[in-house]
Each structure stands twice: as structure tokens, then as C-alpha cells.
Amino acid sequence: MLSYVKHALHNCRTLHPLLICHIDAFHLFVLIQLLTYFLHVFFDCLSYSINGVIKQKFFELSNTTANCLRKQNQQ
């Protein structure tokens, strides 16, 4: 896959005044697939981290609530 990216980037040529890449359909498809894959992995990791933080906070809150209830029951 890396060779496809290198080949696609190698086909880039400069046209005045912008850099315009001349990429055929297959390499464009591969680049889109790679981008989609990396975005999918990034958002999976992000959601996993957020879920971990939420679970940790919920666990702390439930422990605090349980400790409070135990203290009230002991009184």
C-alpha cells in the first residue's frame, strides 16, 4: 500500500499557482481507502478513550455513593 501512496504522490505536478496532483482513479481509490481506514482507527481509539474515562468517572461516582449510603446506614 505504501508503494501506491508513493506512486500517487510521485505523480503530483505543480501548475501555476497551485499544486495539483494528477492521480488516476485506482490510486485515488486506494488513498481514499487509506484515509478512511486511518480516520476509522482514530475515531475508534478516541471513542475507546472517552468510554474509558466515562466508565472510570461512573465507577468513582458509584463508589462515592455506595460509601455515603454505608455511612448513613451505620448511623
Q: What pLDDT was estimated at residue 41?
A: 87
Q: What pLDDT was estimated at residue 20?
A: 52
Partners of residue 14 on adjacent β-strands: 19
The alpha helices in the chain, defined as continuous H runs, are 2-10, 25-74
Residue 31: how many CA atoms within 13 Å on its side-chain side?
Answer: 14
Q: What pLDDT was estimated at residue 10?
A: 62
Entry pTM: 0.47
Please, what are the averages of pLDDT over each run of 10 residues along the chain (75 residues)? Answer: 62 49 72 89 85 83 81 77
